[in-house]
Chain A
Amino acid sequence: MAVASDQQPVDLRDPAGWRRAKNRLATGGMWFAFLCLLVPLGFVLVTVIAKGAGIISWQFLTSSTIPPSVLPASFDGMGAAVVGTLEITGVAAVIAIPLGILGAVYLNEYGGNRPLARLLSFLSDVMTGVPSIVMGLFIFTIYVLHFGYSGFAGSLSLACLMLPIVIRSSYEMLRLVPDDLRQGSYALGATKARVTVTVVLPTAIGGIVSGALLAVARAAGETAPLLFTILTVEATNPNLFSGADTALSTQIFVNATQPYTGAVARAWGSALTLIAIAFILMIVARLVTARFNRYSR
């Protein structure tokens, strides 16, 4: 054993000096950035929960009339806005998600390098950058001016907002599907449509669904596109296609600007409700992704 103890152990650490320092610096920088990111997120959550949790009750979530601003927080609630948000975003999702997925399938599976595909891809990128209020004005000009305010007009403007997000996220997921799988399917005598429906989409569906639900969550919180399209009223509108409607986001906008404590409390409550809806959607997105991905490992 004397021989072994004579031997100096090899130094397998990173070389000292600049290289080791760089590593520490970069790691420290990333931790710092991460903590900085947590600060605003934590503040928003804590504030909204602290100020909004008090007003949340079954009555607040279900009452069909939103009380006048002057009434205190204990009166009625935002049920009408909850219904409006769910209806308007739901219909927007029904419009935008199938269109977006089909668009992404065209871009990735069929379009190739064709001019049309490149144009569509470019336009969808441009559409991502259009301010949401412009979407609202767009629907205002082409729909509201002819058919009047309605929840459906709101759905249309939210769909415009969601469409590029759904296209982009689905497209990225489809691009990740290995070509090997497509070839394996072709080699069994599948047509292109079959390959797309039975192999490509099922392989990518987890990511597509989660991208689509994130787009829905984003749209549910949008205020600007709804201002010009649903007008924001104080009662549940059972007809989505006609007459002014209401939604949580626009109610927050209206109530938070009031001087009355009741209205402000209702705005905080609505904000918390909206965050909860988005949070539930995220969880659903995770569950759905896990469910669809059960064969991918």
Chain B
Amino acid sequence: MEQPERDVVEQTVSTNLPRLETRVQRPSTAPGTTIFDVRNVSIWYGSFKAVTDVSLPVYEHEVTAFIGSSGSGKSTVLRALNRMNDLVPGARVDGEMRYRGADLYARGVSATAVRRRIGMVFQKPNPFPKSIYDNVAYGPRINGTRNKGHLDEIVEKSLRQAALWDEVKNRLKQSGLALSGGQAQRLCIARTIAVEPDVVLMDEPASALDPIATLAVEDLIRELKKNYTIVIVTHNMQQATRVSDRTAFFSVLTDSKNDTRTGILVEYGPTQQIFEDPHDARTQAYVTGRMG
């Protein structure tokens, strides 16, 4: 399908005060297929409203970064994208969350099937207490791959994609817990892509790593973009500028009357525009470091 020939797709999102506008600009290259279409989504934990009225599209083969201060709900939105929030008792999603046209929260949708297509890498590297080989082969195995030769292939391919193969090829039988932090995180990435997901969600994947391991993971993210769509939550703005094509800035809306805090999406657009020409004063304050 032809994309509309417009430079700026303007999308107005109504929220409670103050009134916000979310502008979506097309990046230099025309966006691909819409992978996620999030519309007016609010997420509750019990009676606590964690995020209010978030709307944004996520495009194929792009890296979309969620930035913002703590408590702004960026991780909550990320975890809603593959229904990881289902595991939190009392979590509830309102609004529409579509993945390739299908409503993620429709009746009869299996969270397991969703997560099979939409993988996740966590903040803290969490390799299973199994061998390196078994860690990577875990996903294919639970999805029914039993053939040893086929598993060997998947393990090598995934570890190569995660830029870890050369470091571990001679000790695949060793424990995954024996790896350093950066290696462990790349092992978790290899484990995630071993099931050949469509989307990889990353929740601050480098925040527990040293600068060198961080750069390795960032290189890896740029590399993975060719095959996967990536959504990444990060506290590190430089990281967002280095790896992402689009950036969504989340902020906290404090209601002093009821003493409640809820996350909102302030601005969403191409990363360059968000950092060089933010349209919202709060985005500008944040990216220039004047606001937490």
The chain A residues found within 8 Å of chain B, CB to CB, are 112, 178, 180-191, 194, 198-199, 202-203, 293-297
B191 CB within 8 Å of chain A: yes
Q: Enumerate B244-279 residues with CB–CB distance to A below 8 Å.
A: none
Q: How far, in angstroms, from A293 to B130 measured CA to CA in the complex?
A: 9
Q: Enumerate B185-200 residues with CB–CB distance to A below 8 Å.
A: 188, 191-192, 195
Given contacts A180-B124, A203-B129, contact A189 B175 (CB under 8 A): no
Q: Is the CB of B112 within 8 A of A189?
A: yes
Q: How far, in angstroms, from A178 to B128 measured CA to CA in the complex?
A: 10
State which of B116, B176, B177 has its C-beta within 8 Å of the C-beta of A188.
Answer: B116
Q: Enumerate B131-147 residues with CB–CB distance to A below 8 Å.
A: 131, 138-139, 141-143
CB distance from B174 to the nearest CB of A (A): 8
Q: Which one of B8-16, B24-32, B63-71, B81-89 is at the A interface?
A: B81-89
Q: Is the CB of B143 within 8 A of A189?
A: yes
B224 CB within 8 Å of chain A: no
Determine the interface band of chain B, counting residues with CB < 8 A from chain A. Answer: 20 to 34
State which of A188, A203, A295 has its C-beta within 8 Å of the C-beta of B138.
Answer: A188
Q: Is the CB of B128 within 8 A of A181?
A: yes
B178 CB within 8 Å of chain A: yes
The interface residues of chain A lying within 8 Å CB-to-CB of B131 are 295
CB distance from B88 to the nearest CB of A (A): 10
The interface residues of chain A lying within 8 Å CB-to-CB of B205 are none
Q: How far, in angstroms, from A70 to B66 measured CA to CA in the complex?
A: 86
Q: Is the CB of A295 within 8 A of B89?
A: no
Q: List 22 A-B contacts (CB under 8 A).
A: A112-B89, A178-B126, A182-B87, A183-B87, A184-B127, A187-B115, A188-B115, A188-B119, A188-B138, A188-B139, A188-B142, A189-B139, A189-B143, A189-B195, A198-B141, A198-B142, A202-B130, A293-B129, A296-B129, A296-B175, A296-B177, A297-B175
B165 CB within 8 Å of chain A: no
The interface residues of chain B lying within 8 Å CB-to-CB of A194 are 142
State which of B82, B112, B126 has its C-beta within 8 Å of the C-beta of A181.
Answer: B126
Q: Is the CB of B84 within 8 A of A187?
A: yes
Which has the most chain A C-beta neighbours within 10 Å: B116, B128, B129? B129
Instruction: Please name the residue on chain A nearest to B200 by beta carbon.
Output: A187
B113 CB within 8 Å of chain A: yes
Q: How far, in angstroms, from A191 to B87 measured CA to CA in the complex?
A: 12
Q: How far, in angstroms, from A294 to B134 measured CA to CA in the complex?
A: 13
CB distance from A188 to the nearest CB of B (A): 4
Q: Is the CB of A191 within 8 A of B112?
A: yes
Q: How far, in angstroms, from A186 to B110 measured CA to CA in the complex?
A: 12
Q: How far, in angstroms, from A290 to B22 measured CA to CA in the complex?
A: 57
Q: How far, in angstroms, from A161 to B32 measured CA to CA in the complex?
A: 65
Q: Is the CB of B128 within 8 A of A199?
A: yes
Q: Is the CB of B142 within 8 A of A189?
A: yes
B120 CB within 8 Å of chain A: yes
B122 CB within 8 Å of chain A: yes
Q: Which 8 A-B pairs have the closest CB atoms?
A: A189-B116, A180-B126, A187-B120, A295-B175, A188-B139, A296-B129, A184-B126, A189-B115
CB distance from B116 to the nearest CB of A (A): 3
Instruction: Please name the residue on chain B nearest to A198 by beta carbon.
Output: B142
CB distance from A86 to the nearest CB of B (A): 33
The interface residues of chain A lying within 8 Å CB-to-CB of B120 are 183, 187
Q: Is the CB of A183 within 8 A of B84?
A: yes
Instruction: Please name the residue on chain B nearest to A113 by beta carbon.
Output: B89
Q: Is the CB of A189 within 8 A of B113?
A: yes
Q: How far, in angstroms, from A199 to B175 measured CA to CA in the complex?
A: 14
The interface residues of chain B lying within 8 Å CB-to-CB of A203 are 128-129
State which of A178, A188, A198 has its C-beta within 8 Å of the C-beta of B191.
Answer: A188
The interface residues of chain B lying within 8 Å CB-to-CB of A185 are 128, 138, 142
User: A189-B112, A295-B130, A296-B129 provided; 19 other pairs, C-beta below 8 A?
Assistant: A178-B126, A183-B84, A183-B87, A184-B128, A184-B188, A186-B87, A187-B82, A187-B192, A188-B115, A188-B142, A188-B192, A189-B195, A190-B112, A194-B142, A199-B128, A202-B130, A296-B175, A296-B177, A297-B178
Q: How far, in angstroms, from A295 to B178 measured CA to CA in the complex?
A: 8
The interface residues of chain A lying within 8 Å CB-to-CB of B124 are 180
The interface residues of chain B lying within 8 Å CB-to-CB of A190 are 112, 142
Instruction: Please name the residue on chain A nearest to B178 by beta carbon.
Output: A297
The interface residues of chain A lying within 8 Å CB-to-CB of B141 are 198
The interface residues of chain A lying within 8 Å CB-to-CB of B84 are 183, 186-187
The interface residues of chain A lying within 8 Å CB-to-CB of B195 are 188-189
Q: How far, in angstroms, from A50 to B112 measured CA to CA in the complex?
A: 63
Contact with A along B147-181 (1 / 0, CB 8 A): 00000000000000000000000000001111000
Which has the most chain A C-beta neighbours within 10 Å: B128, B177, B191? B128
The interface residues of chain B lying within 8 Å CB-to-CB of A178 are 126
Q: Is the CB of A295 within 8 A of B177?
A: yes
Q: Enumerate B69-110 residues with CB–CB distance to A below 8 Å.
A: 82, 84, 87, 89
Q: Is the CB of A187 within 8 A of B175?
A: no
CB distance from B87 to the nearest CB of A (A): 6
Q: Is the CB of B126 within 8 A of A186?
A: no
CB distance from B112 to the nearest CB of A (A): 5
Q: Is the CB of B112 within 8 A of A295?
A: no
Q: Is the CB of B115 within 8 A of A202?
A: no
Q: How far, in angstroms, from A122 to B219 measured CA to CA in the complex?
A: 53
CB distance from A114 to the nearest CB of B (A): 11
